[in-house]
Structure 1
Amino acid sequence: MTGSTPRSTHGAIPDPTPDVTSPLLSVQGLRVTFPGRRGASAARAVDGVDLDIRRGEIVALVGESGCGKTTLARSLLGLVEPSGGRVTFDGAPLAYSSRALKAYRRRAQLVLQDPSGSLNPRHTVYDIVAEGLRIHGRAGNERTAVAEALSRAGLRPPERFFLRYPHELSGGQRQRVVIAGALVLSPELLVADEPVASLDASVRGEILALLLRLRAELGLSALVVTHDLGLAWNIADRVAVMYLGRIVETGAVEQVLTAPRHPYTQALLSVLPEAPGIPVVLSGEPPDPSDIPGGCRFHVRCQVLGGGKAERAGVADACRGRDPGILDGSGESQVACHWARSAPRAVSPG
């Protein structure tokens, strides 16, 4: 698998090494629903997700547009209140009062995909980065903190950027300003939603390398939301593949992306330019989240079921009629697929 940056160096967390056995952030049975239009059933955007992110770990959340990735990411930061389940940060359940969320967001920060849309064009770089300090009442030594955040984000010398406006910066520089605005509060977790999607290919590698360096220098944890499996390969320790509101495969990035077990993961990987064999073209569009199919939610598009392999393995009825269940958030290699569970050797690529 190719990419614009080298694979991450695991374990590159500065000493003293924190306790990585307990998750920094943990999600149990998370559900997010939105009311249906004109009496229609509620849309189940996130439909039962367990996910752990450990200290110093980068997890990539991958899947098609509309699968629920961004809704899940926003719910982890308290921007969307779950309809069910629980989010726990550093051992404490996330509370949704304004005061509790304000305190939480000093420790967990969002990095958006479109720096042009997330930066106020009327504010200087200095004021953009300083905004978090002012909101959270940490304006003491503001100039030093802003300079340090810009420098960590790769904008050096930082004073050169203080009085610039977003339109005077390149796309890569604007994304670095967004990252600096997150770093200025010294968070423990970054949630990055498609952090390089709007950037030129030549700049993407620089931003990915920056995120890896921040993990190595600061011990940051991160959830990186992306549809780009190449990005996941280059930056993540672990990957979670999401389909129609639920994680359907998870495990170490090398394992999932070199030996995918779920037919959906196999289809996503098959269309990469360097993938061997014939690309898998899935039939139809993902079902409406207000009308999720029974059984395995992927079965109506599944190439394994449609091609007769599930029938030959004796699991076709289970695919159509039995929910494979919610994967736990432990990080172990897991797959929500009756066929993969029944015939693991049959799914190895090659």
Structure 2
Amino acid sequence: MTTPPLLGAEGTPPLLSAEGLHVTFPGRHGAARARAVDGVDLDIRPGEIVALVGESGCGKTTLARSLLGLVPATGGRVTFDGKPLDYSSRALKAYRKRVQLVLQDPSGSLNPRHTVYDAVAEGLRIHGYGGDERAAVAEALSRAGLRPPERFFLRYPHELSGGQRQRVVIAGALVLEPELIVADEPVASLDASVRGEILALLLRLRTELGLSALVVTHDLGLAWNIADRVAVMYLGRIVETGEVEQVLTAPRHPYTQALLSVLPEAPGDPVVLTGEPPDPSRIPSGCRFHARCQILASGEAERAGVADACRSKDLEVLGGGGGTQVACHWARAQVTT
């Protein structure tokens, strides 16, 4: 594996990009189609870690799977390295060598009948690797923090701790020398004592390899610790995005404010959102968050003169690049007053 000399920076062309992305699923028994991803622009630059944050059911996992080519887009497009994603079998196989998925549950990701060696070597065999397989597996395990790697070759998943299993999953991704990984809740199933180790590992891999990452999570605390940028998703659309320090120290969208308020170190009382996110087959008019919005419920939006817009005027899709952006009538009114 070679180490790129520089990490990505502002102005660098994106490595992976979603442009006006839509993913819909058929409704049951003739019901309206569910708009799981309902217009998303999102860029990930070389060497950059982007956190995609939101509640369960907001569409973030569907978005991540669409970026991987596992779920075809029904509108818009995905581009990688400047080229639109090709959904032919041959092209997707080549693409998935460069973009790897790391799943939430390492126990479910690993075949209990396969040794650690076979689990890590599987990708090499699928892609017809012609080099020294044993050396490649050993290097990937070592990079993932399992040293000496030979000690783990003949072990089975049940013989490992949860953190060790997650490192094996990461090694299985690294062995193909990807340019980007998509990590879906990578530490959600781990003990608190192990989470920091895995996050530190991902940061080290970014530094050593120039690896880009999209980290899908419901945890804004995790985003704070690992990400360069954060994109907050609600009901199929990104509602706030920007540099992680800016968004998480001065959140402008009421939804972001509510998510941050429940963190243990957050000042003030937690914001308790009423109800569940709406059905994605029946997205409300206006701001899609307005039915649960604490700003609208408290009368602040009315005093700012935007309550009617919140209920009736849709907001545009936010741009996918850098810079702080928010899709909220009230937040924008605060800037202009």
TM-score by length of structure 1 reads 0.94
What's the offset of the Cα at 1:140? 2.3
Determine whether 1:311 maps to 2:302: yes
The residue type paired with residue 99 of structure 2 is A
- Could you give the per-residue CA deviations for residues 44-90 of structure 1, whole angstroms, max 9, x where no partner exists? 00000000000000000000000001000000000000111100000
CA contact (8 A) 2:106 2:169 kept: yes
Once the 2 structures are TM-superposed, how far is the Cα of residue 174 of structure 1 from its aligned partner?
0.1
Deviations 1:69-127 (A, max 9, x none): 10000000000001111000000000101000000011000000000001000000000
Match of 1:197 in 2: 188
* 1:203-218 superposed matches below 5 A: 203-218=194-209
Partner of 1:9: none
Task: Letter of the 2:280 partner, please give it.
Answer: P
**Which position in structure 1 is the counterpart of 2:164?**
173
Q: Which amino acid aligns with 1:56?
A: G
- How far apart in 1 are the matches of 2:187 and 2:130? 30
Q: Does 1:79 align with 2:70?
A: yes
Aligned to 2:6: 17
TM alignment of 1:139-158, pairs within 5 A:
139-158=130-149
Aligned residues: 334
1:137 to partner: Cα distance: 0.5
Unaligned residue ranges in structure 2 (runs of 5+):
none
Counterpart of 1:222 (choices 208, 213, 237) is 213
How far 1:173 sits from its partner (Å)? 0.2
1:53 is aligned to 2:40 = no
Instruction: Confirm whether residue 101 of structure 1 aligns to residue 101 of structure 2.
Output: no
Gaps of 5+ in 1: 1-12
**Partner letter of residue 285 of structure 2?**
G
TM-superposed CA distance for 1:230, in Å, is 0.6
Partner SS for 2:290: coil
User: Which whole-Å CA distance do the structure 2 matches of 1:226 and 1:46 have between them?
Assistant: 16
The farther-off stretch of 325-334 and 19-28 is 19-28
Provide the rounded CA distance (Å) in 2 between the counterparts of 1:174 and 1:267.
Answer: 33
Q: TM-score by structure 2 length?
A: 0.97
Q: CA RMSD in A?
A: 1.3
SS state at 2:239 partner: strand
- Which residue in the other structure is 1:326 paired with? 317
Per-residue CA distance 1:243-269 (angstroms, 9 max, x = gap)? 000000000000100100000000000
The 1:214–1:309 alpha-carbon spacing in structure 2 relative to 1, beyond 3 Å, is same
Match of 1:291 among 271, 282, 285: 282
Question: Percent identity at matched positions?
Answer: 84
Query: C-alpha displacement at 1:16, in angstroms?
Result: 2.6
For residue 265 of structure 1, the aligned residue among 242, 256, 281 is: 256
Q: What is the CA-CA distance between 1:15 and the residue it aligns to?
A: 5.5
| CA–CA distance in structure 2, aligned partners of residues 19 and 170 of structure 1 | 34
- Corresponding position of 2:230: 239
Conserved in 2, the CA contact under 8 Å of 1:261 and 1:344?
no
- 293, 296, 299: which one aligns with 1:302: 293
Residue 168 of structure 1: how far off its partner (Å): 0.4
Distance 1:18 1:345 in 2: 36
Deviation at 1:18, TM superposition (A): 5.9
